[in-house]
Structure 1
Amino acid sequence: MDSRYYSIPDALRLLFGSDILSQTPSLRNKANSFLRNDLLTFKEELIVHKKSKLIPETELNTLFNAMLLSSIFADPKEVKSIFCEPDKRQQCTEIVTAMFTRQHSLAGIALSSQNTSEFVACLEGDFDLRAARLPNPFKTLPQASLGSNTSLLRVLLAQAAALEPMDSILMKYLDGEWLEAKRLINQLDMTAPGVAELKTEIDRKIRDAEEVDDLLDFMLKL
Structure 2
Amino acid sequence: MDSRFYSIPEALRLLFGSDMLREVPSLRTKANSFLRNGLLTFKEDLIVHKKSKFIPETELDTLFNAMLLSSIFTDSKEVKAIFCEPEKRAQCAEVVKAMFTRQHSLAGIALSSSKTTTFVTCLEGDFDLRANRLPNPFKTLPQATLGSNGSLLRVLLAQAAVLEPMDSILMKYLDGEWLEAQALISQLDINLAGVAELKAEIDKKIHEAEEVDDLLDFMRGL
- Residue pairs, 1:4-43, within 5 angstroms: 4-43=4-43
Distance, in Å, in 2 between the alignment partners of 1:53 and 1:137 is 29
Confirm or deny: 8 A CA contact 2:107 2:152 kept in the other structure. no
For structure 1, which runs of at least 5 residues remain unmatched after alignment? none
Structure 1 residue 58, shift from structure 2 partner: 0.6
Confirm or deny: 8 A CA contact 1:106 1:157 kept in the other structure. no
Confirm or deny: 8 A CA contact 1:98 1:193 kept in the other structure. no
User: Could you tell me which residue of structure 1 aligns to residue 163 of structure 2?
Assistant: 164
How big is the alpha-carbon RMSD for the aligned residues of Structure 1 and Structure 2? 2.6
Q: Letter of the aligned partner of 2:116 in structure 1?
A: T
User: Could you tell me which residue of structure 2 aligns to residue 119 of structure 1?
Assistant: 119
User: Could you tell me which residue of structure 2 aligns to residue 65 of structure 1?
Assistant: 65
What per-residue deviation string (whole Å, max 9, x for no partner) do you get for residues 91-145 of structure 1?
3223323333322432222333332222222122211111001112222211112
* SS of 2:102 mapped into structure 1: coil
TM-score, length basis structure 1: 0.85
Confirm or deny: 8 A CA contact 1:27 1:149 kept in the other structure. no
- Residue pairs, 1:148-163, within 5 angstroms: 148-160=148-160, 162-163=161-162
Deviates more, 1:166-175 or 1:32-41: 166-175
Q: Letter of the aligned partner of 1:39 in structure 2?
A: L
Deviates more, 1:21-30 or 1:199-208: 199-208
Confirm or deny: 8 A CA contact 2:83 2:89 kept in the other structure. yes
Q: Letter of the aligned partner of 1:164 in structure 2?
A: L
- Residue pairs, 1:96-107, within 5 angstroms: 96-107=96-107
What per-residue deviation string (whole Å, max 9, x for no partner) do you get for residues 56-112 of structure 1?
111000000111111122111121122122222223223323333322432222333
User: Could you tell me which residue of structure 1 aligns to residue 93 of structure 2?
Assistant: 93
* SS of 2:2 mapped into structure 1: coil
- Residue pairs, 1:180-199, within 5 angstroms: 180-186=180-186, 193-199=193-199
Q: Letter of the aligned partner of 1:163 in structure 2?
A: V
Distance, in Å, in 2 between the alignment partners of 1:21 and 1:172 is 32
Confirm or deny: 8 A CA contact 2:115 2:136 kept in the other structure. yes
Query: Percent identity of the aligned residues?
Result: 81
Distance, in Å, in 2 between the alignment partners of 1:191 and 1:138 is 31
Deviates more, 1:52-61 or 1:118-127: 118-127
Deviates more, 1:52-61 or 1:71-80: 71-80
Aligned length: 221
Deviates more, 1:57-66 or 1:145-154: 145-154
Q: Letter of the aligned partner of 2:203 in structure 1?
A: D
Distance, in Å, in 1 between the alignment partners of 2:45 and 2:150 is 29
* SS of 2:46 mapped into structure 1: strand
Confirm or deny: 8 A CA contact 2:106 2:152 kept in the other structure. no
Distance, in Å, in 2 between the alignment partners of 1:191 and 1:109 is 32
For structure 2, which runs of at least 5 residues remain unmatched after alignment? none
Q: Letter of the aligned partner of 1:35 in structure 2?
A: L
Distance, in Å, in 2 between the alignment partners of 1:176 and 1:66 is 23
Distance, in Å, in 1 between the alignment partners of 2:187 and 2:171 is 16
